Amino acid sequence: MSITPAAVEVIRALSAVLPRFGPWYLFGAQAVIAFGVPRLSADVDVTLRLAPESRHAFIDDMKAAAFELRAGDAELVRLTSVLPFVHSPTGMPVDVVLAGSGLEDEFLQRARPIRLEDVQVPTIDPEDLVIAKILAGRPKDLDDARGLWRIHGARLDAVRIRRVLQLLEDALAQNDLVPVFEEIQRHV
């Protein structure tokens, strides 16, 4: 399965706007699909390092590129750090996650360019995508992590993934991330 033409159209339009505002990367289901895991998805997720003073200009530029803000609730954006848009020509939802410090900074630094048709797209590194999917923890995210490990596991740094998951467990006062990863390794 490959990324749908509508998703490529959305990513192409995002690629014309996002670089003007900061470093960014594609993640979520579209990244999973780009890395060869069959998946159905009708949305696009990106992370953007956006300076707070640029938020209004960013929203204006997104509108000019045919992206409409789905929810203008400033409190929602503050709590979730997500700007939810819809791409008017395709009707496809787009979530722009505003990067915080720490893990997202590392993910931004490690993002790798991939070619989707005629556009070069910074995309979350597969190791980081496995980490993000395990952290999200929903059944479909864990299925994505399994699929990524099945296809790319031999080339991924399991020690790094385990170390980052352990750091996240320590920071979040939980103990279920490393065992999930170990289970994925055993059964794929």
Residue 106 sits in the same domain as residue 131: no
Q: Are 119 and 149 contained in the same domain?
A: no
Binning pLDDT at 50, 70 and 90, where does residue 162 land? very high
User: Considering 80, 97, 124, which residue would you say is the last residue of a domain?
Assistant: 124
Residues 134, 103: Cα–Cα separation, whole Å: 14
Domain end call among 72, 102, 124? 124
User: CA 128 to CA 9: how far, in whole Å?
Assistant: 25
Chain position carrying tokens 């390092």: 49
Local confidence band at 178 (pLDDT 50, 70, 90 cut-offs): very high
* Residue 29 to residues 51, 63, 121, Cα–Cα distance (Å): 26, 24, 15
The set of residues, in sequence order, having a beta carbon less than 8 Å from that of 39 and lying 6+ positions away, is 1, 29, 32, 33, 144, 147
Rounded Cα gap, residues 59 and 30, in angstroms: 22
Judgement on whether residues 75 and 26 belong to the same structural domain of the protein: yes
Q: Are residues 108 and 69 in the same domain?
A: yes
User: Is it the case that residue 180 has pLDDT exceeding 90?
Assistant: yes
Q: 133 falls in which pLDDT band (50, 70, 90)?
A: very high
Shared domain check, 107 and 62: yes
Residues 47, 104, single domain; the answer is: yes
**79 pLDDT exceeds 80?**
no
151 and 168, same domain (yes or no) = yes
Closest CA to 95 of 45, 133, 141: 45
Same structural domain for residues 106 and 45?
Answer: yes
Report CA 31 to chain centroid distance, whole Å: 7
Domain range for 181: 126-188
Q: At 68, phi and psi to the nearest 5?
A: -105, 135
> Based on the domain organization, do 36 and 60 belong to the same domain?
yes
CATH of residue 15: 3.30.460.40
Number of domains in the chain: 2
Shared domain check, 81 and 31: yes
Provide the token pair at 131: 């980490």
Following CA atoms 138, 144, 148, 151 in sequence, which dihedral angle do they give, to the nearest 10 degrees? 140
C-alpha to C-alpha distance for 142 and 103, rounded to whole angstroms: 19
pLDDT confidence of residue 142: 97
Amino acid occupying residue 90: T
The pLDDT confidence band at residue 73, using thresholds 50, 70 and 90, is low
Q: How high is the pLDDT of residue 83?
A: 93
**109 and 49, same structural domain?**
yes
Model pTM score: 0.92
DSSP bridge partners of 121? 114
pLDDT value at 74 more than 70: no
181 and 89 within one domain: no
Residues β-bridged to residue 120: 115
Greater confidence (103 vs 101) lies with 103
Question: Pick from 97, 124, 151: which residue ends a domain?
Answer: 124
Task: Please give the pLDDT value at position 95.
Answer: 94
Mean pLDDT value across residues 23-36: 96
